[in-house]
Amino acid sequence: MGGEAEQVSALEALPLKAGSDGQFSERWLQMLIQRNPTLLPVDQIEPALVPLVPVCIELPIPSGFVDNLMLTTDGGIVLVETKLWRNPEARREVVGQVLDYAKDLSRWTYSELQRAIRVAAKDPQLDLFRHVAGPDAAPEAEGKFIDAVSRNLRLGRFLLIIAGDGIQESAEHLTDFLQRHVGLHFTLALVEISFWRAPDTGDVFVQPKVVARTLQIERAVVRLEEGVAMTPTRLTPAPSTTKPTSISAEGFYDALRLASPSLPERLQAFLTEAEALGVYGDIQRGMTLKWKGPGDRVFRLGHIGSDGRLATDYAHWDAQAVGRIDLSHAYQARLASAVPGASIRQTPNVVGWRMVIGSENPPVAVLLDHGDAWLAAIMDYIAGLERALASPETV
């Protein structure tokens, strides 16, 4: 640092108080989260479940009251429990409580959920779809929203967040609780929220931090097939190549299955082959195909949307950053040459060039029909990038 000495002062920690009265109480935190859902680092836990739309507080269910209920516009469901995390007894109680909430909720229909929300919101006319999607949402989107919420309820596909002060726990310690709730596809996350005050100004700063989260592959799972409950099975430790599942991944593959029933399995088989090249799929709202190069530099190879189509222009951004957009253009051109009817749509900005069939991004199913050629194009692209990154002229 140069110039005059900077004034630095330590922030004052502000612990939460037990009970429901006053500032920095559990109730106060509950209201703070409801008004400011972005305080929850959901993008670090389940990227598909953003942005969150607050729905109600104190949702009445058979086993108690859910502190905060939030949904996403595509039907994702998030339950938040605000608690202090002071001793082992309190920890066991709150974890068991939130899992019981999830179990109760999984037995509800969409109509039952909406009725309970109306009670909590004290609004007998509340329309859940309009509340979440907004008044200008297209009417045809309502059926899709209701179907998604209903499916998530039936599967127990929820993000459960325990948020509060002093939360320090490892996910491994939660195994016993998780095994008691087979059949639910939830993700459980512990989020510590700490508060700090600046002594000179009195400003209060909020610091959320994900302490632990669970992955479905660590749990026993009951699959529901055509309404028939299958026998619970304790999952054995997975081989190193097996990827853990998540709500984000399940939602993405569900969407692909609507485009083509066999598409998820075909794509997963392709990714298994591509792993040998260092290629992997990063799932958020869609899947971005990535290659991790030297020095931990990551290059995108394309983006697969929930509509099952591949956007190849994603590859140009990283290639341009190292001054070799010619390599991403060559990768795209080789891929297009292997797929009947495909071409490259060129734009004035070379970063926007993309592979199309007709006027649209190509269906992944069509690319998988030529999977060997796709892998060969990726291999050539990676080889070119490796040579370029090894060159001293490369930025």
Which tens digit of pLDDT belongs to each residue from 262-321? 999 999 999 999 999 999 999 988 999 999 988 888 999 999 999 999 999 999 999 999
Shared-domain flag, residues 170 and 254: no
Shared-domain flag, residues 24 and 56: yes
Residue type, 39: L
To the nearest 5 percent, what fractions of the chain are helix, strand and coil? Answer: 40, 25, 35
pLDDT at 226: 37
Shared-domain flag, residues 175 and 305: no
pLDDT at 224: 36
Alpha-carbon span 189 to 116, nearest angstrom: 24
Range of the structural domain that residue 288 is part of: 246-390
Shared-domain flag, residues 212 and 300: no
Shared-domain flag, residues 29 and 167: yes
pLDDT at 131: 96
> CB neighbours (10 Å) of residue 395?
7
Shared-domain flag, residues 164 and 274: no
Alpha-carbon span 238 to 257, nearest angstrom: 24
Shared-domain flag, residues 207 and 286: no
Alpha-carbon span 69 to 57, nearest angstrom: 6
Counting as low any pLDDT under 70, the low residues of the chain are: 1-6, 18-20, 85-91, 167-184, 214-245, 392-395
Contact 34, 57 (CB under 8 A): yes
Structural tokens at position 110: 């969409």
Look at strands 64-71 and 224-225 and give their pairing: unpaired
Phi, psi of 38 (to 5 degrees): -70, -10
Contact 328, 316 (CB under 8 A): yes
Alpha-carbon span 315 to 352, nearest angstrom: 10
Sign of CA dihedral 136, 140, 144, 146: positive
**Residue 153 maps to a domain:** yes
How many alpha carbons lie under 13 Å from residue 64 in its C-beta half-sphere? 15
Phi, psi of 18 (to 5 degrees): -70, 155
pLDDT at 217: 35
**Residue 378 maps to a domain:** yes
Q: Into how many domains does the chain fold?
A: 2
Residue ending a domain, among 194, 225, 256, is 225
Region of 139 please: left (phi>0), alpha (psi -120 to 50) or beta: alpha
Predicted TM-score of the model (pTM): 0.74
pLDDT digits (tens, 9 = 90+) for 182-198: 556 788 888 988 888 88
**Residue 237 maps to a domain:** no
Nearest residue to 335 (alpha-carbon basis) of 322, 348, 354, 321: 354
pLDDT at 71: 98
Shared-domain flag, residues 32 and 72: yes
Residue ending a domain, among 196, 225, 254, is 225
**Residue 240 maps to a domain:** no
Residue with tokens 């290629």: 279
> Which string of DSSP letters, residue by residue, matches 147-214?
HHHHHHHHHT--EEEEEESS----GGGGHHHHHTTTT---EEEEEEEEEEE-TTT--EEEEEEEEEE-
| Residue 171 CB burial class (10 angstroms; 0-12, 13-18, ≥19) | middle
pLDDT at 223: 38
**Residue 395 maps to a domain:** no
Shared-domain flag, residues 26 and 86: yes
Residue ending a domain, among 193, 225, 257, is 225
Sign of CA dihedral 370, 381, 278, 350: negative
Collect all residues with Cβ–Cβ distance below 8 Å to 255 and sequence separation of at least 6.
306, 307, 308
Shared-domain flag, residues 202 and 280: no
Residue with tokens 């490796």: 386
Contact 152, 158 (CB under 8 A): yes
Shared-domain flag, residues 216 and 265: no
**Residue 156 maps to a domain:** yes
Nearest residue to 160 (alpha-carbon basis) of 119, 229, 216: 216
Nearest residue to 91 (alpha-carbon basis) of 29, 28, 166, 17: 166
Angle 148-158-93 (CA atoms, 0-180°, nearest 5)?
A: 155
Beta bridge pairs of residue 206: 195
**Residue 241 maps to a domain:** no
Contact 319, 299 (CB under 8 A): yes
Alpha-carbon span 14 to 31, nearest angstrom: 17
Shared-domain flag, residues 198 and 293: no
**Residue 3 maps to a domain:** no
